[in-house]
Structure 1
Amino acid sequence: MDIYLLPNERQALTDYRPPMHTKTIVVRLNLQYGPQAHAMDVQAGACLIGRDDDCRLKVDHRLVSRRHASIESVAGKFFLHDHSTNGTYVEERNQGKPVFVQREIYQLNGSGVISLGIEPRHNPGHLITFTLGFGG
């Protein structure tokens, strides 16, 4: 005896729902060092920070390397990569105390300050402020 499975009408059809309208959220990182400002979105290339003329944010301080650090976007998040001998301090708002990053990568969150080579409290004139923002 042969047994056959015949699809009924419901099995033969695929339900279709029109796509939901979604709003694109743009993640942006704003950096400020004195009069220098730089805005990055997730599509931007790396932002190099240091004493070198090729740096997007040029910081002229004795403890800052020529190519001290860079900030890059990976999967919609922003990461600071320290390339220096003296390290970098990141102090996020409401964090309490700065995190020391030396030849490591650190994810930036919210807003705060970046201090190259020296703790932020000892470096008030050379702080880089950062703010992560969202837009549509």
Structure 2
Amino acid sequence: MNGPLDRQHAVFLGVHWSWTDIGRDPDAGLDLPFDEALTAKASAALARFGAALVAESSSDLIFSLESVRCAIDAVSEINQQCAKECVGRHIALRMGILAKDEPPRSARDASEEVAGARRLASLASPGQTLVLLPDSLIADALGGRLTPVDTFDWDEASDLLDALVFQVNWQDAVETRVVKVLTPDRQVTRVSKLRLRWRNRHWVMRADSAELSLGRGADMDITIDSEFASRDHARIRPHGSTFVLADVSTNGTFVNLDDSVVFIHDDEVILRGQGWISLGKHASESMGKVLYFSSETGAR
């Protein structure tokens, strides 16, 4: 049975992407804009939901859709397509959904609503989609797909301090697999170095490196200031010719590995290739607070 979120409204979805190649000077940040491949991925994903491209710039795309439900479903699809495009690069994806009760009545109204969707996308954290709904839809937004966002410290958007802003939960749409206990004798590619990056800090681990601790605590080797992380959450250690991540937390750890997301809880996984580690919540719900890793391999 269709609900209010399925009905036709004026809905605009802003998609903002920035990215950088893995191995590029990390101090440059995620400053590279859209490229043709990313634009094509987003457009193809949204075409399945009847979206129409209404505006674009060097760093974002704005689409119109028929309903809030279509926009929320499209967010999940774009995130999954983005994950497949992440090989060799770090991508910061931000999105914003602006819904109105009625279609814009003039070009000026349409321009303001496009600007509103673009602004929401710019306010979002990496991996987050912000949603601003009309009063008529707020009661229906409190289901499993949307959760309220605390706007208390939004100094750059003081006009939204009293607004009910939501974020999209799309974790359930992502294929997540549980890892079995690590088998020491498993044949794997030799990893000579493991590079780690948290914000503007960097670490390089080698075969003779000491174990690194991860968590919210200030006494951890790598302190991740996430409310979802345990004080002492996980360990990374050399293990023969590999590097192993071990979870010791309450909420478990998500790892982007082999083009899928694995979840470990009181378990271990071998880190290989490049990806991210998110403590306690999937990266889509951790407000971009993830530890990036990349490995340098050699034949065994």
Tell me the TM-score range normalised by the shorter chain: 0.7 to 0.9
Q: Residue 121 of structure 1: SS of its match in structure 2?
A: helix
Question: Structure 1 CA distance, aligned partners of 2:216 and 2:284?
Answer: 21
Contact 1:28–1:42 at 8 Å: present in 2 too?
yes
Is 1:63 aligned to 2:228, yes or no? yes
Task: Tell me the TM-score normalized by structure 2.
Answer: 0.35
Counterpart residue number, 1:6: none
Structure 1 residue 112, shift from structure 2 partner: 0.4
Relative contact order (alpha carbons < 8 A, sep ≥ 6): 1 or 2 greater?
1
Q: Which has the larger radius of gyration?
A: 1
Question: Structure 2 CA distance, aligned partners of 1:26 and 1:32?
Answer: 17
User: Which shows bigger deviation, 81-90 or 114-123?
Assistant: 114-123
> Which residue of 263, 286, 294 maps to 1:123?
286
Superposed, which structure 2 residues align to 1:23-102 within 5 Å? 27-92=192-257, 95=259, 97-102=260-265
Structure 1 residue 130, shift from structure 2 partner: 0.3
Question: Structure 2 CA distance, aligned partners of 1:86 and 1:77?
Answer: 25
Equivalent residues, number: 109
Q: CA 1:26–1:101 in structure 2 vs 1: closer, same or farther (change >3 Å)?
A: closer
Question: Structure 1 CA distance, aligned partners of 2:219 and 2:241?
Answer: 25
Specify the code of the residue in structure 2 equivalent to 1:132. Answer: S
Question: Structure 2 CA distance, aligned partners of 1:46 and 1:85?
Answer: 20
Specify the code of the residue in structure 1 equivalent to 2:196. Answer: L
Q: Which runs of 5+ in 1 are unaligned?
A: 1-24
Q: CA 1:123–1:26 in structure 2 vs 1: closer, same or farther (change >3 Å)?
A: closer
Q: What RMSD in Å do the two structures reach over aligned CA positions?
A: 1.7
Question: Structure 1 CA distance, aligned partners of 2:228 and 2:215?
Answer: 10
Structure 1 residue 123, shift from structure 2 partner: 2.3
Question: Structure 2 CA distance, aligned partners of 1:106 and 1:33?
Answer: 20
Counterpart residue number, 1:110: 273
Q: Which runs of 5+ in 2 are unaligned?
A: 1-189
Question: Structure 2 CA distance, aligned partners of 1:111 and 1:124?
Answer: 20
More helix by share: 2
Q: Residue 98 of structure 1: SS of its match in structure 2?
A: strand
Task: Tell me the TM-score normalized by structure 1.
Answer: 0.74
Structure 1 residue 54, shift from structure 2 partner: 2.1
The ranges of structure 1 where at least 4 consecutive aligned residues each deviate by more than 4 angstroms after the TM superposition are none
Structure 1 residue 56, shift from structure 2 partner: 1.5
User: Which shows bigger deviation, 30-39 or 118-127?
Assistant: 118-127
Specify the code of the residue in structure 2 equivalent to 1:33. Answer: W
Question: Structure 1 CA distance, aligned partners of 2:245 and 2:296?
Answer: 16
